[in-house]
Structure 1
Amino acid sequence: MPLMTLNAVDYSVGGPLLLDGVELSIERGERIALIGRNGAGKSTLMRLIDGELKPDDGEIRREQGVRVTRLEQEVPAGADGSIFDVVAGGLGEAGAALAEYHRLLHAEDYDALAEVQSRIEALDGWRIDQRVTEVLERLQLDGDAAFTRLSGGMKRRVLLARAVVSAPDILLLDEPTNHLDIAAIDWLEGFLKQWPGAIVFVTHDRRFLRSLATRIIEIDRGKLTSWPGDWDNYVRRREERLNAEAQEQARFDKLLAQEEAWIRQGIKARRTRDEGRVRRLKAMRVERAQRRDLTGNVRMAAASAGNSGKKVVELKDISFGFGDCALIRDFSTTIFRGDRVGLIGANGTGKTTLLKLLLGELQPQTGEVRSGTQLQIAYFDQYRATLREDWNALENVAEGQDFVEINGTRKHAIGYLQDFLFTPERARAPITRLSGGERNRLLLAKLFAQPSNLLVMDEPTNDLDVETLELLEELLADYPGTLLLVSHDRDFLDNVVTSTLVMEGEGHVGEYIGGYEDWLRQRPQPGEALPATTLAPKSAASAVQAASTPAAAEAPVVAKRKLSYKDQRELEQLPARIDALETEIATMTGEMADAGFYQREPSAIAAHGQALQQAQDALDAAYLRWTELDA
């Protein structure tokens, strides 16, 4: 028997029904992933299941005694005190009494303990106290620690404990991986796979979804469709369904156009024997008016600046820490133009610190940071601090202007925001009314309106729907500048970056070719000594070449070997050769900018272009060789 059944449920927030005739049953042991565009109604459906909202029409039936708990996206207001207080707060009156008892016990206020003990015994609270203690142990939480001093990821873990402590039959999770690091996400997957009840969850993390879901429920234009928990099969079948729908709509629209042309013929269409055809046309008009078109995709384009220098940033033997805690110790690397570098590490291990060192916002305690030339930086902040709360979406992007300029093309600010799925009304709405997904899209719109050749993105995937996430992947893959990316989305890292910097603990920063999966293959195994230095190629070109070599993809990082005399001489001569080639390329490029250059013979112009390409290839080869020898 289903734990819960929704029959013909409607729900509206104005305009077309957000949920239209929804049918859904939830069985014990199921792990249901809710999929849909931002604003499609996923969170609303969860609130209906939770009982926080009531349907406009239809029926929601629960099996007798079924308990439902929901983990929300945001930290609830008033969540403070110790971790024990917050977790016990999910148990109603008994939980509140237990939290008070623990506070009094720590304060050694023994006079007040007796009255609280009596209340706890009356509520069967000691059994509940044992349950809270067990949950804290399973989730590796210190009940005495102050909740407000925790990181975002640890707060999510505490709120998960608060949700599961009541042992609900249906556990609702809204973006449970937000602000969790990769290790915590792996742990959460294992924890939820052992959950005996039903789970309904919303996530943007495709790997988390693949690992956990036993069924996929898609919300599209108010309707629910159910698919087995196979993400790749869902994507393929959904594409087939949308293609069939598009063909059917095109056939319908063609027939409607023909009938509209016929009715305009006048008296011929009003003959008695054609009244049935007129009635069918009226019915077709109603059907077309009621059609809900598929939500369009975001149209992204990043405003690019001129090229930066070949070297974007160079770190030499830098160290940084706080007190006795070394976050980064004796780390050296060079990031070249065009590299796409991912930063991986547990929360609190120094990813943001390393990012600030790379950008020059922090100075190392020892060592040297050299920034490249002609850098124009655009920064995506995971906490959205660059969005002004007292401005609407339009003001945040346009900053008082009517137009934005993207790669030489002027676009009206309203039209530009429509590319990011903001209607004119939403563009002028207070930013406080925007959902998490809308805020992320707005931050992307603001970011990509800035000309840049160095794009820095700190957790850009939170709250984005899968379609927008995949479009962002495509844009970043084609971005002509340099990318620094902090993300805990494993698929996103694999699809975007060419190399990774990994915070491995005790101040060591590892450098690896490729994305997350490549790091898993290359990283030192437990008990294996960390490499004395890193061997991952620094440039995008060298990363691609190395990744295409089977030995490079499979072999662990090894220590530097001693160079032969010939190699040492070559390494010493390479900087001068690189300088000469860059000077030659600059001279040849300057000649092409001269007004009379294209008045030459076509053969001379072609020869000049060929020579320029050869010089560029030689420069790339020199940088690659220098990187290999220096490693």
Structure 2
Amino acid sequence: MANIINLDRVSKGYGAAGQLLTDVSLGLDDDARIGIVGLNGAGKSTLLRMLAKSEEPDSGRVTHRRDLRVASLPQSLTLAGEATVRDVVLGTAWLPQSMGAEHEWAGDAGVRTILDGLGMGYLGLDTPVGPMSGGERRRVALAALLVRESDLLILDEPTNHLDVAGVDWLAKHLLTRRGALLVVTHDRWFLDAVCTMTWEVVDEQVHTYEGGYAAWILARAERQRVAASIEARRQNLLRKEIAWLRRGPPARTSKPKFRIDAANELIADVPPVRDQVSLQRLATTRLGKQVYDLETIELKAGPKPIFQDLTWQVGPGDRIAILGANGAGKTTLLRLLAGITEPAGGRLVTGSTVRPAFLSQELKELPGHLRLLEAVEEVAKRVKLGDRELSAGQLAEVFGFTDKRIWTPVSDLSGGERRRLQMLRLLATEPNVLLLDEPTNDLDTDTLASLEDLLDSWPGTMVVASHDRYLVERVTDKVFGMFGDGRLVHLPGGIDEYLARVTTPGAPGVPAKVSAGSSPAASGLSTGELRQAKKDLARLERQMEKLSDREARINESLAEHGSDYDKLVELEAQLKAVQQEKAETEEAWLELAEQVSES
């Protein structure tokens, strides 16, 4: 290992956004594979730009090894409209001259392999980029980086605009690539598949963790547990000091003055509260027995046929994922269910009690001319949240918008904030059917976890079109695939079966052989048993969360009743029982998880 980049006491801030990084010191080795996570606006992209030396810090120093070759994919890029795929991928129409042209690649099948892997196999090298969509342009730019050798590859949201198969291909390709890798992405599965270290950008600092997303979550949870334990002890001591102060005017001696100073220090030592997002379940309208019945449906997107003779049923409580390549028609199907698009033929019957909410990709329905609070009040001024009734301002606070942000114009919000506002407005209508088109776009990992927690307990019906493998496997029970053959195919094997079908030669609608490593039978579980095992895993996870909450509440009670011996004995017995049940539940979860992982 050799060091290639160093950050020495680097600080960076902007007028409107405030201070993002303060006195950050980091080193990067030549074989590092690092995922960068953090809340939207924490400074992840700023950190990448400084590492690439495309932006200078306000103070501190960034040093590169001599002749270091850095290839960087930013979040936003501009390609000349008259340029062709050949100019971008093989020339220097986008990349700086220092990256060099790769004309020797022109006859190499490697270029076609990369374009195929990114879902761009239909493009010719002479195709102009001007008429392309933003997603296509971004994938062409990514291909330009992947065909070149570099010492450090920096990718900012590389999985945006890639389908499930594209994300899977990119992960495998990066694992075989030499050199260091820095990636910012909200795709948790991708982070686990590719990265061996995680940097968390939080509170103007960068914390480092060994391992990918799962390891980071565990390490952060342990850090928060320790911090909570310290805070609980501090609060208990604070209660005693305040009780002492309330006993009456302290005598003018050194001892009472010491006690007053100690109490003031405890009060002043309260750490700042981080802006955590808590998406809690809103009220839903009662859902009847019938949701959607599609009978011999013919559906088109403009002149392009999507479905022919589709018969399909969506029932109450169904949790369905729709997978397919970009352009397969997933959005068109959701728009049909939402009542926005009419079928070209056949019959769609919607239940009389169905109250759908459609989350689109484009965010066009957000009123950019209004302020955030006004945008919420436009939908509902008061809403039910559990057993509470909240005003629009209180609801915005539940969704992580502070008092300062609620008066921000919608047009000035970040992409993640606009996405969160869009979800807030939808849920405020009290729907009983959620139709979600790429709901994880632009959301940071903490907001994603909160969103998944909300969807996990959603009492209505849910149909999700998503390339986010982590989300699909957590919150849905049924998976259907769209392979461009006019049919909607049920996939009992989930995403593994989908990937096996799209990578197996032959007609995608025909059941393909699943590789031995991903076959349910390989672990002795049938398809039905595997599906049930995954549901049992989710149930056990929820049970462990509840037991952890009970354990925390009992520990709080122990601190409160420190002088009540009888109460302490009772609480200790309860704590022991909860810890025993938690250990048994964890053991059951581990055994079941091993069976599922082998499948």
TM-score bracket relative to the smaller structure: 0.7 to 0.9
Which residue of 2 is the match for residue 117 of structure 1?
A: none
Mean Cα displacement is larger for which, 261-270 or 296-305? 261-270
Which residue of 1 is the match for residue 45 of structure 2?
A: 43
In 1, the alpha carbon distance for the partners of 2:426 and 2:132 equals 29
In 2, the alpha carbon distance for the partners of 1:236 and 1:92 equals 40
Which residue of 2 is the match for residue 550 of structure 1?
A: 526
Deviation (angstroms), 1:242: 0.8
Tell me whether 1:192 sits opposite 2:192 in the alignment.
no
Which residue of 1 is the match for residue 95 of structure 2?
A: 91
Matches within 5 A, 1:162-181: 162-164=144-146, 167-181=149-163
CA contact (8 A) 1:152 1:180 kept: no
Name stretches of at least 5 consecutive residues in structure 1 with no aligned partner.
96-124, 533-547, 556-631
Per-residue CA deviations over 1:137-170 (Å, capped at 9, x if unaligned) read: 4532533223243345433211213445664432
Letter in 2 for 1:376: R
CA contact (8 A) 1:497 1:514 kept: no
Letter in 2 for 1:58: G
Deviation (angstroms), 1:27: 1.2
In 2, the alpha carbon distance for the partners of 1:253 and 1:132 equals 67
Distance 1:319 1:4, change over 3 A: same
CA contact (8 A) 1:262 1:269 kept: no
User: Which residue of the other structure, out of 164, 189, 196, is the alignment partner of 1:207?
Assistant: 189
Which residue of 2 is the match for residue 349 of structure 1?
A: 328
Which residue of 1 is the match for residue 587 of structure 2?
A: none
TM-score, scaled to structure 2: 0.75
Aligned length: 506
In 2, the alpha carbon distance for the partners of 1:267 and 1:313 equals 72
Per-residue CA deviations over 1:457-482 (Å, capped at 9, x if unaligned) read: 00001122223222222322322221
SS at match of 1:139: helix
Which residue of 2 is the match for residue 145 of structure 1?
A: 127
Distance 1:276 1:337, change over 3 A: closer
CA contact (8 A) 2:153 2:182 kept: yes
Letter in 2 for 1:375: V
Mean Cα displacement is larger for which, 311-320 or 372-381? 311-320
Letter in 1 for 2:191: L
Deviation (angstroms), 1:445: 0.9
Deviation (angstroms), 1:46: 1.4
Distance 1:79 1:250, change over 3 A: farther
TM-score, scaled to structure 1: 0.71
When Rg is computed on C-alpha atoms for both structures, the one with the higher figure is 1
In 2, the alpha carbon distance for the partners of 1:48 and 1:11 equals 9
CA contact (8 A) 1:498 1:513 kept: no
Letter in 1 for 2:137: K
Distance 1:388 1:276, change over 3 A: same
Per-residue CA deviations over 1:457-513 (Å, capped at 9, x if unaligned) read: 000011222232222223223222211110011121111122222112322321234
Distance 1:55 1:93, change over 3 A: closer
Deviation (angstroms), 1:364: 3.1
Per-residue CA deviations over 1:246-286 (Å, capped at 9, x if unaligned) read: 22233334445656777897674664x88888877776666
Deviation (angstroms), 1:336: 1.2
Distance 1:183 1:518, change over 3 A: closer
Identity of aligned residues (%): 33
CA contact (8 A) 1:312 1:336 kept: yes
Per-residue CA deviations over 1:517-539 (Å, capped at 9, x if unaligned) read: 4656899964478459xxxxxxx
Per-residue CA deviations over 1:229-260 (Å, capped at 9, x if unaligned) read: 24333322221111111222333344456567
Letter in 2 for 1:180: L
CA contact (8 A) 2:80 2:130 kept: no
Which residue of 2 is the match for residue 159 of structure 1?
A: 141
Tell me whether 1:303 sits opposite 2:304 in the alignment.
no
Which residue of 2 is the match for residue 292 of structure 1?
A: 272
User: Which residue of the other structure, out of 285, 288, 292, is the alignment partner of 1:313?
Assistant: 292
Matches within 5 A, 1:32-71: 32-71=34-73
Which residue of 2 is the match for residue 442 of structure 1?
A: 421
CA contact (8 A) 1:521 1:554 kept: no
Distance 1:353 1:136, change over 3 A: same
Letter in 2 for 1:550: S
Tell me whether 1:182 sits opposite 2:164 in the alignment.
yes
Quote the RMSD (CA, aligned, Å).
Answer: 3.5
CA contact (8 A) 1:313 1:369 kept: yes
Deviation (angstroms), 1:515: 4.0
